[in-house]
Each structure stands twice: as structure tokens, then as C-alpha cells.
Structure 1
């Protein structure tokens, strides 16, 4: 645990008692603060009280009078589409609102590192797609290279649950827009921007607000090095704002679709090959086609971003390549779960939006595509470039019939349930094809989260193949 100091004796409100809320409460208590916790779920309050925490509803009259700060869990809206009543009450009362990420960066700055030869570093990864894989890949490569590293934030452990990093330690954080938007302190050593596609627009008041939330990590964080995906206009804009000249190698530009040129520092992938250029010459390359845990162009973008971050941390190209080859991928993200009869079964349940599902489709040649769920804003038109890879779609979800009508020019069968979709896909798949779960939709019509949906897919595949 990383104790949060500077609030000894103060009452600090904690709103939301999931992983981040409880870890923040423990860290504040370890630093001498008096956390006062609240969650609308009575079971969550009961668990907090069992740990000896005080609970109190911050919306009640007078509840915030002695409170000096409110720490908010990322899933609770603080501005759009409307502020949570407790957060609105805090803002009305002039109580500063923060989150566990802000507490982490402030607490980390209090570390006694003067005696260390190599102080710890923080790598923070944000973006619409690929940030989990990129974060996990950086962490994996560091560990394989013998560097002490911890993975936290929006993946793995709560950020305040990790151990205080020591000599040459690296903390790799995956940060969502919900986390970067509200954190009052953001000071990573290396910041990574993977890409930007429309998502969470209701929480940020539109695409501009969404980009602004991501941009805070760079504009206010002031990282020593910025790794920026430049395949979208927002990434090119961000890289341009951060660099003081074309040769400014504090910005490492990354692309998964085109060769980058110029006197600066670039890492790009084309036709399955990753290439690093610096100061006008090639200094490294990796053949990604044989890296089993990173299939498809979208994972090649993740590989480029992770490679750039690891190079910025001082690792050599061959160290990074070795780490890539031993990386097995993350569950629910282009995860190969079975191979039988020449057919590959891939779980990409995390492909919850059009852009990530498109990239999943384009990673394979002949796809039996399981898709569907709660459609997000904008429809499915953006998937059309990937339809040429689809042999047939098997649509799940309560809105399966309406979803299938959006798949123009694709043979689609309304299956509704995962069990039926998998059974039909397994029965019809031919050698050389891929049965792919890439829903392009949220899971909440049938599952608690995308993980549960992916787990169901894996279970149904095993059952259909007789591997229970």
C-alpha cells in the first residue's frame, strides 16, 4: 500500500466503494486521515463498516461541513450527463473533488528517493483502444528484462494498493478518460496516447470533451517523454502541440499503418514489421508476424506504443523483442482460446465499440463473427471496411434482430444467446476460418460486464468442442 499523507486528522469523503474507493480509504487512513465512506449499495457500505470505516451520506444536510476533500470512484459522473448529487453537493460546498489517481501522484512525490541511485518512474497509458494490452505488454517486457515493475490503475490492482516503488522500479498505469479528467495531479515520466475513437461521449459532453480528458495527461502532466499514436487527427494535433521542433525527440510518434519520416523519433509498423527511426536513420526492427500474442494491425499499434515506451526507459530492441515473443496476450482481447479442425477460436469481448471490432475483423481473413449487444451511438456503419473478412455473422443480444439489420451486405443469423451463436458457428466453420467474438457493443443487456461475456464465449466453445 502507498499511504497518502498530508491529511492527518482531516475528514475525507470517499464516494463509491469499489476497488479504487476502498483502496483510497485504506491509504488515507494509513496516512492519518479520517475517511468517511458512502456507496448507494448497502452491501458495499456493510463491507466498509466491517473494516472499521465510518459511513455517511454526503447529500444529507451538514454532512460536508467538516470535510476537506472528496475522493470519487471513476464510474460516477461528475459533470456530464449530470453530476452525481453527492458530487454536486461537494462542489456547491467548495469541497475539492479528486480521485485515487490524483492521490497516487501526490503521494508518490512524497517518497524518500534521495538515497536511490535510479529513482522510480511512472508510465501512464491512455487512449480509446489498446491501452490495456499496451500497459500489460510494457509491464511484461520490463519484467522479462529484469526490471522491477508493477501494473495498476484501470487494470490489475488499485493504484494505491501497490507497493511503494524502489530502486529503478517502474509503475505502469492504464488510465481511462474518467480517471485523467478528474485527477488533480498527473505527473508521469512517460505518457502514452494510443488512439482516439468515439466512446463515452455522454460522459464527456461529446468528442471534444473526450479528447480534452485524454489530453490532460500530457498538457498538465508534463511528461519527460510522450509516445503518441498519430493515425488519427487528434494524435497528430497532440504530437504537434507537445513538440517544439520537428527533431524534438521528447515526442515519439507511433503509427500502425504508414511509414513515418522526419528527423525526430518514430516507431511504426507496416506489413507486420515494426521499425524504429531516430535522427533520420533506422535503429531497430522486429518482425511482428510471428508474435503469437499480438495478432492483427491493432495489436501491432499496441506493440509500437509499448516498444517506444520501453525504449524511452532504456531497454534495447532485442530485449523488447524477446519480451514480445513470450507475451501471451490478455483475456478477452484477441485471446486465442481454442484451435480444432483447422479453425481458430478468438475471444475479443473487449471489442465493445465499432473501431475495436473493426480492427479485430481486419486481423483475420475468414471470420465467423459473433457480435451484438447494446449498440453505442453512431450505429455500425464504421464496420463496413471489415465486412469483406466476414463469412457470416451470428448476432446475440436482446436487440439482435435490429443489430443484424445494420450489417449491410453481410449474411447474418439472429441467434440471441451466446450458446446458440457458438453452436451455429462451430457447426458451420471450415478449416482456415476463425470464429471471432468481437461484439462491437456493450454487454449490459445480457452480462454484468465484457469479462462475463467473454467467459461465456470460452465456456460455450469448450462445450461445443467437447472440452468441458
Structure 2
């Protein structure tokens, strides 16, 4: 646990009592604060009260009397589409609002660091797609080469749940826009933007607000190194804003699919090969194609980001390459589930938006595509140009009929349930085909989260294959 500093002897309110909120409350108490808390759910309040956390309705008059700060859990809206009433009450009372990410950055460094030979570092990863894979890959490389490391944030442990730093340690944080948007302190040593595509637009008041939330990691934090995906205009803009000149190697530009020219520090992947260029000269080259845990161009972009991060730590290219070879991949992210009679089965349940699903569709050929769920704003127009590898779509979810109607030029069967979609897709698959779950939608119409959806897919696949013998 990271005891929260700066609030000793003060009263701090916590809003939201899920895993993150309860961990925040404990870390505040460990730092000497008195904690009061609220959750809109009676279940959350009861669970927290059972752990000894004092419950107070933060929406009633006078709730913030004597309160020094309000700490808000990531899932709770603080501005768009409308602020939570407890957040609005904190504004009216003049109480500063923060989140656990802000508390982490203000509390992680301690006086103990003065005795370390190598100062600990924090690598923070954000972006629309690829955050988890990039974070996990960095952590895997560091672990493989023997560098002490912890993985936290949106993946692994909560940021305040991790252990205090040891000499030379690197903490890798996956940070969503929900987390970067509100944190008052954002001071990573290395910050990464993988890419940007429309997502969570209602939460951020549109694409501009969404990008602004991501940009805060760089603009507020002032990292020593910024690694920026420049395949979209927002990334090109950010890299330009952070650079004082093309040769400014504090900014590392990364790309999947285009060669990056110029005198700066560039890492890009083309046709399955990762290249590092510095001052206009190539200094390293890695063949990514044999790495089973990183299939497709979208994962090659993740590899570029992870490679660049590890290079900022002084790790040699060949050492990074060797570590990448053993990367197993993440569950629900281009995860190979089975291979039978020349048919591969891939679980990419994390493809919860059109852009991430499009990237998955580009990674494979002869696709039996299981898709559908709760559609996000913008519809499916952006995925239509990427359907040329789809032999047939098998549509699930409450909106299956509407989803299928939008798939112009593709044979689409309305299956509704996962079990039916898997059974039909596997029955119709031929040698050389890939049965791919890449929903392009949120899961909440049928499942609690994308993990549950992915687990249901795996179970359905295993049941079919077991019955086939």
C-alpha cells in the first residue's frame, strides 16, 4: 500500500466504494487522514461500513463541513454528461476534487528514495486502444530482464494498492481518460499515448474533451520522455506541441504502417518489422512477425510503444527483442483460444469500439466474425472499409438486428446469443479460417464487462470443441 501523504490529521471524503474507492480510503487512513465516504449504491455503502469506513451522505447540506478534499472513483461522472450531485456539492462548498491517481503521484516518492542508487520511475500509458497490451508488454520486458517492476492502474493492482518503491523499480501504469481527466497531480517520468479514436464521448463532452483528458498526462505532467503515436492528427499535434525542434529527442514518435522521417527519435513498424531511427539513421530492427503474442498491425504499434519506453530506460534493442519473444499476450486481446483442423479461434472481446475491432479485422484473413452488443455513438460506418477479410458475420446482442443491417455487403446472420454464434461459426468454418470475437460494441446489454463476455466466448468454444471430440 502507498500511504497517502499531505492529509495527516485532516478529514477527506471518498465518493464511490468499489475496489478503487475502498483501497483509496485505506491508503488515506494509512497516511493519517480521517475518512468519510459515500456511494450511491446501498450495497457499496454496506460493504465499506463493514470494513470500518464512516458513511456520510455527501449530497446533504453541511456534508463537507471540515472536509479538506473529495476523492472521486473513476467511474463516477464529474462533469459530463452531468456531474454527480456529490461532486457538485463539493464545488459549491469550495472543496478540492481529486482522484486516486492524483493521490498516488503526490505520495509515491518518499524520503527513503534518498538512499537509493537508482531512482524509481513511473511509466504511464494512455490512449484509446492498446493501453493494456502496451503496459503488460513493458512490464513483461522489465521482468524478463530482471528489473524490479509493478503493474497497476486499469490493469493489475490499484495504484494505491501497490508496494512502496524499492531501489531502481519501475511502476507501469495503464491510465484511462477517466483517470487522467481529474487527477491534480500527474508526474510520470515517461508518458505514452498509443493512439486516439472516438470513445467515451458522452463522458467527455465530445472528441475534443476526450483528447483533452488524454493530453493532460503530457501537458500537466511534463514527463522527461513523451512517446506519442502519430497515426492520427491528435498525436501529430501533441508531438509537435511537446517538441522544441525536430531533433528534440525528449519526444519519441511511434507509428504502425508508415516510415517516420526526420532528425528526431522515431520508432515505427512496417510490414511486420519494427525499426528505430535516431538522427536520421537506423539503429535497430526487429522482426515482429514470429511473435505469437503480438499479432497484427495494431499489436505492432503496441510493440513500438513498449520498445520505445524500454529504450528510454537504457535497455538494449536485442535484449528487448529477446524478451518480446516470450510475451504470452493478454486475455481477451487477440488471444489465441484454440486451433483445430486449420481453424484458429481468437478472443478479442476487448475490441469494444469500432476502431479497435477494425484493427483486429485487419490482423487476420478469412474471418468468421462474431460481433455486436451495445453500440457506441457514431454507428458502424467507420468499420465498413475493413470488412474485406470477413467471410461471414455472426451478430449477437440486444441490438443484433440493427447491427446486422448496417453491415452492407457482408453476409450476416442474427444469432443474438454467444452460444449460438459460436456453434454456427465453428460449424461453418473451413481450413484457413479464423473465428474471431471482436464485438465493436460495449458488453453491457448481455454481460457485466468485456471480460465476462470473453469468458463466455471461451466457454462456448470449449463446449463445441469438446462435443466434436
TM range (shorter): over 0.9
1:130-163 alpha-carbon deviations (Å, 9 max, x no partner): 0010001000100001000000011111000000
1:237-295 alpha-carbon deviations (Å, 9 max, x no partner): 00000010110000000000100011110000000000000111111111000000000
Q: Following the alignment from structure 2 to structure 1, what is the Cα–Cα distance between the partners of residues 384 and 40?
A: 42
SS at 1:81 equivalent: coil
The answer for the alignment partner of 1:149 in structure 2 is: 149
1:111-190 matches, cutoff 5 A: 111-190=111-190
Q: Following the alignment from structure 2 to structure 1, what is the Cα–Cα distance between the partners of residues 236 and 111?
A: 35
SS at 1:20 equivalent: helix
Q: Following the alignment from structure 2 to structure 1, what is the Cα–Cα distance between the partners of residues 49 and 251?
A: 47
Whether 1:221 aligns to 2:221 is yes
The answer for the alignment partner of 1:45 in structure 2 is: 45
The answer for the alignment partner of 2:369 in structure 1 is: 369
SS at 1:292 equivalent: coil
Q: Following the alignment from structure 2 to structure 1, what is the Cα–Cα distance between the partners of residues 220 and 103?
A: 15
Runs (5+) with no aligned partner, structure 2 = none
Whether 1:8 aligns to 2:8 is yes
Q: Following the alignment from structure 1 to structure 2, what is the Cα–Cα distance between the partners of residues 6 and 235?
A: 35
Q: Following the alignment from structure 2 to structure 1, what is the Cα–Cα distance between the partners of residues 115 and 333?
A: 41
Q: Following the alignment from structure 1 to structure 2, what is the Cα–Cα distance between the partners of residues 319 and 19?
A: 36
1:116 positional shift: 0.9
The answer for the alignment partner of 1:379 in structure 2 is: 379
Q: Following the alignment from structure 1 to structure 2, what is the Cα–Cα distance between the partners of residues 270 and 111?
A: 45
Q: Following the alignment from structure 1 to structure 2, what is the Cα–Cα distance between the partners of residues 67 and 452?
A: 38
1:46 positional shift: 1.7
SS at 2:44 equivalent: helix
SS at 2:269 equivalent: strand
1:349-395 alpha-carbon deviations (Å, 9 max, x no partner): 00010000000000001100000001111110111222101000000
1:340 positional shift: 0.7
Whether 1:360 aligns to 2:351 is no
The answer for the alignment partner of 1:56 in structure 2 is: 56
1:409 positional shift: 0.3
Whether 1:253 aligns to 2:253 is yes
Q: Following the alignment from structure 1 to structure 2, what is the Cα–Cα distance between the partners of residues 111 and 436?
A: 50
The answer for the alignment partner of 2:408 in structure 1 is: 408
SS at 1:289 equivalent: coil
Runs (5+) with no aligned partner, structure 1 = none
Q: Following the alignment from structure 1 to structure 2, what is the Cα–Cα distance between the partners of residues 370 and 259?
A: 33
1:111 positional shift: 4.3
SS at 1:23 equivalent: helix
The answer for the alignment partner of 2:323 in structure 1 is: 323
The answer for the alignment partner of 2:296 in structure 1 is: 296
Q: Following the alignment from structure 2 to structure 1, what is the Cα–Cα distance between the partners of residues 262 and 110?
A: 40
SS at 2:263 equivalent: coil
Whether 1:422 aligns to 2:400 is no
1:212 positional shift: 0.5
Q: Following the alignment from structure 1 to structure 2, what is the Cα–Cα distance between the partners of residues 202 and 313?
A: 37
1:101-146 alpha-carbon deviations (Å, 9 max, x no partner): 0000000133421111101000000000000100010001000010
The answer for the alignment partner of 2:450 in structure 1 is: 450
1:151-205 alpha-carbon deviations (Å, 9 max, x no partner): 0011111000000111110000000001001000000000000000000000111
The answer for the alignment partner of 2:70 in structure 1 is: 70
The answer for the alignment partner of 1:239 in structure 2 is: 239
The answer for the alignment partner of 1:437 in structure 2 is: 437
The answer for the alignment partner of 2:266 in structure 1 is: 266
Q: Following the alignment from structure 1 to structure 2, what is the Cα–Cα distance between the partners of residues 182 and 29?
A: 22
Q: Following the alignment from structure 1 to structure 2, what is the Cα–Cα distance between the partners of residues 172 and 249?
A: 21
Q: Considering only aligned residues, what root-mean-square deviation do their CA atoms show, in Å? A: 0.9
1:179-218 matches, cutoff 5 A: 179-218=179-218
Aligned length: 468
Q: Following the alignment from structure 1 to structure 2, what is the Cα–Cα distance between the partners of residues 26 and 284?
A: 46
Q: Following the alignment from structure 1 to structure 2, what is the Cα–Cα distance between the partners of residues 117 and 103?
A: 25
The answer for the alignment partner of 1:96 in structure 2 is: 96
1:18 positional shift: 1.4
Q: Following the alignment from structure 1 to structure 2, what is the Cα–Cα distance between the partners of residues 309 and 19?
A: 29
1:380-395 matches, cutoff 5 A: 380-395=380-395
SS at 1:388 equivalent: coil
Q: Following the alignment from structure 1 to structure 2, what is the Cα–Cα distance between the partners of residues 204 and 5?
A: 29
Q: Following the alignment from structure 2 to structure 1, what is the Cα–Cα distance between the partners of residues 160 and 345?
A: 37
Q: Following the alignment from structure 1 to structure 2, what is the Cα–Cα distance between the partners of residues 7 and 241?
A: 35
1:52 positional shift: 1.2
Q: Following the alignment from structure 1 to structure 2, what is the Cα–Cα distance between the partners of residues 270 and 138?
A: 21
Judge which range, 81-90 or 376-385, deviates more.
376-385
